[in-house]
Each structure stands twice: as C-alpha cells, then as structure tokens.
Amino acid sequence: MARHPVPLKFALKCQSMKRIITILIMSAVFIQPLIAGKLPAEEFKLVKQSENIFLYERWIAAGNNEKVREIKAVFLVRASRGNLISLLKDPVKGREWNVNAKEYRVLPLPEENRWISYIQYDIPWPFDNQDCCLAFQSTDSEVSFQSTHHSAFPEKEGIMRLSGTKGKWVLENMHSGNVKVTYFITTDRSRKIPRWVSDPIVHNNLIKTMSKFKSLAEQ
C-alpha cells in the first residue's frame, strides 16, 4: 500500500508540539530541585508574654548554613495610627521607650513619609555598646525600616554598628477603638555570646521596650 505524504503544515505543527513538550520536560527537571531545596520557614513560637504583650520568635535561613532571628511582638494600644507614627519620629520620646538607648536622633527627609533614625545603645555586659542607622518609610497602616548609611551618622570607634537589620510596624485599626500593633524585626545573633545568655536579655529588653512604647502612646 502506498504511503500518503504528510502535509507540510501538519508536519510543522507536530515539530512545534515536540519542542513545547521538550521545553516543559526540561523546565520540570530544572525547577524541581529549586522547589525541593527551598525549605519552609519555621513557625513563630511564643517565647514571652507580659502585660498583654506577646513575643514570638523564629529562625530563618540566611544562606551559608546560617540562620537569623526574626522576632514578632503583638499588642493592642489605645491610640491612633497617626499618633503612633509621630511617636516613632519623636527624638525625645524615642530615648524613653527604647531600652538602654543613650542617644536617639531623627533626620527628616524631603519626603514627609521618610526619615532616618540613629540610635546608640549603652548595653550592659556581656554585650558590646552598639548603634544603628535606620531608614524609615511610612504608610497609613505600616512603617518599614532597614539598615542604611548616612554621612550625618558616621561609625564611632568602640561602638559596634549593627547592620542587616530590617523590620516593620504593622498598624491595624480594631473595632474596639484600639490599634493592633504587630512589630517585626530580623537581626543576626552574636556568635560571641551563647544563646542561653543572650536570648533572655533580648526577650526581656524587647518586652520592656514595647511596654514603654505602649505607655507613652496612650498618654
């Protein structure tokens, strides 16, 4: 029986389908290891509670087999979101609610919703004295921040500059008239100090800081 010639249009269509199938197979081969290698982040665990302030913590992968600490604080405050943002930008009150803050300076930027804060901490042993320079950006419901550099706040001899810090304040209006504050911050932990020493200090200081912030906001 004689074979009928395959129409050119049909042959080209078959070749095109083969290419598509090949691409899909190759994509699956390369994408699968990426998906398999992406470990899910740990769940937040409650590590401390005081005066209706809840402190959670988890460790997340940061590359090179390293992990960084992410802390979440949650509490209600009877104040407007605008007042809370104003409190973050107040250099005088900033020293009051930041535990162990020796200096708290705020540099306004041309955009009203952006500013830079400099904080120097006088921290008791076993920690070194530290400072940080943070760039802030605010919206109606969130204030984000991250480490930055600015000539107005050069590094000082004998004071360790914290870098790689980032986080945010999430401000949600509640039906009760309160604002729910959810504070996130990610920091590296000091390798010089074991966790059994550093963790209680970090947790206690942050609880005290959030408690003072809440108290000042409600005045």
The domain ranges of the chain are 10-39, 45-217
140's torsion region: left (phi>0), alpha (psi -120 to 50) or beta? alpha
Q: Is residue 97 a contact partner of residue 84, using CB atoms and an 8 Å limit?
A: no
pLDDT tens, position by position, 11-51: 445 555 555 444 433 333 333 333 334 455 679 999 999 98
Q: Is residue 115 a contact partner of residue 106, using CB atoms and an 8 Å limit?
A: yes
CATH of 45-217, one of 2.40.270.10, 3.40.50.2300, 3.30.530.20, 3.90.340.10: 3.30.530.20
Q: 130 vs 147, 160, 170, 208, 217, CA distance in Å?
A: 13, 5, 26, 18, 26
pLDDT reported for residue 53 = 97
pLDDT reported for residue 7 = 55
pLDDT tens, position by position, 99-133: 889 999 999 999 989 999 999 998 766 667 889 99
pLDDT reported for residue 127 = 67
pLDDT tens, position by position, 76-92: 999 999 999 999 999 99
* Cβ-count burial 79-93 (b if 16+ within 10 Å, e if not): bebeebbebbeeeeb
